[in-house]
Each structure stands twice: as structure tokens, then as C-alpha cells.
Amino acid sequence: MRKILVSECLYGGRPVRYDGGEKAETDQVFLKWKEEGRLVPVCPEVFGGLPIPRPEAQRIGDRVMNIEGKDVTEAYQRGAAEALRLAKEHDAAFCILKQGSPACGSRMIHDGTFSGRKIPGQGVAAELLRGAGFTVFGEDQMDEAAACLAQLEQAEQPLK
């Protein structure tokens, strides 16, 4: 059974977000995968050593700055490396990461002004995973992720 790397705040059960909350995904396909034991939850921000809760942070170019003006890039890089290590260890079919996050965003991130505006872009972990060859979906692309898994499992079926 192929595993899927997912953002821990989507997996639910541990409030890992910067604000001490979670965003547990309620999509039926996601919940079925969770029940099957396919999902490998990762929180790159917590893996990087950041506390819960923590000051909000956003990407500004190649750096990640928190709202207090502290450069937290190294924590994001450490956490991304650990997420990649787990993706490889579990031979993940692909990843489903929380959209908008400076670590996990796969298509959209905040624009670095802490004003709520989003721009096209990706988080540090999403970028590292993609660079290593993993496909990364957002939680807003569950249909595409399901189609991708069906295709992979079809291709991996032994010939009769």
C-alpha cells in the first residue's frame, strides 16, 4: 500500500499550527486514506524546532521572517529536510500539504507583508520535496491526488 506524506495540521489530532490550532481535513477520500493507515503526518515547522504556538512567519524571497522580524529560515530548512527524509523513508506516492503556509504551501503563499494577501509561490518544504522529485498537491486538489494514486496503483499491479 503506497503511503502519502501529509501536513500534520490536515491530519489532525495534534494542534501544531502557529496559532495552536489545526485544520483537520474532512474530505471523505482523505479520511479513508487516514483510516487505511496510508498517511504519514509531518509538520516541518515543528520538526525544525519551532514551538507551538509561535509567531506567524512568511516567506520573503529565499528567507522566512516571523512577524517579530526574526529570521527563522534555518528552522524551516531543517524541518523541510526532515519532511523529505520521511517522504523517502516511506517511499511516499506524493504529498498533500496545507496551502498558504511558508513551509507547506504548494501553489499560494502569503506575500511577506503580514497583511493577509497571498501570491503564487511555494513553501520551503514543498519546494524541497518537489526538487527531490515528489509531486506536491494542496488540500484543495484532493480529486487530482485521488486520480494520481489510482493511476500509480494501476501501474504497479502485477501482470496477470
Euclidean distance between CA atoms 84 and 74, whole angstroms: 15
Among positions 44, 112, 121, 138, the unique one binding ligand SF4 when judged by CB under 6 A? 44
Choose between 13 and 147: whose C-beta lies nearer to ligand SF4: 13
Which part of the chain contacts ligand SF4 (CB under 6 A), choosing from 9-17, 111-119, 142-150, 151-159? Answer: 9-17
Give the nearest distance from C-beta 47 to ligand SF4 in angstroms.
Answer: 8
Choose between 12 and 154: whose C-beta lies nearer to ligand SF4: 12
Q: Give SS3 for 138.
A: strand
Q: How far is CA 95 from CA 47, 49, 123, in A?
A: 17, 21, 13
Give the nearest distance from C-beta 119 to ligand SF4 in angstroms.
Answer: 17
Under the criterion CB under 6 A, does residue 43 sit at the interface with ligand SF4? yes
Cβ proximity of 100 and 122 under 8 Å: no
Euclidean distance between CA atoms 106 and 86, whole angstroms: 18
Grid cell listed for 131:
526538487
Among positions 25, 45, 127, 139, the unique one binding ligand SF4 when judged by CB under 6 A? 45
Among positions 4, 5, 7, 106, the unique one binding ligand SF4 when judged by CB under 6 A? 7
Site for ligand SF4 in 92-131 (CB under 6 A): 98, 101, 103-104
Choose between 68 and 156: whose C-beta lies nearer to ligand SF4: 68
Q: How far is CA 152 from CA 81, 118, 125, in A?
A: 25, 32, 23
Cα 31 from chain centroid (whole Å): 17
Euclidean distance between CA atoms 107 and 142, whole angstroms: 14
Binding site for ligand SF4 (CB under 6 A): 7-9, 16-17, 43-45, 98, 101, 103-104
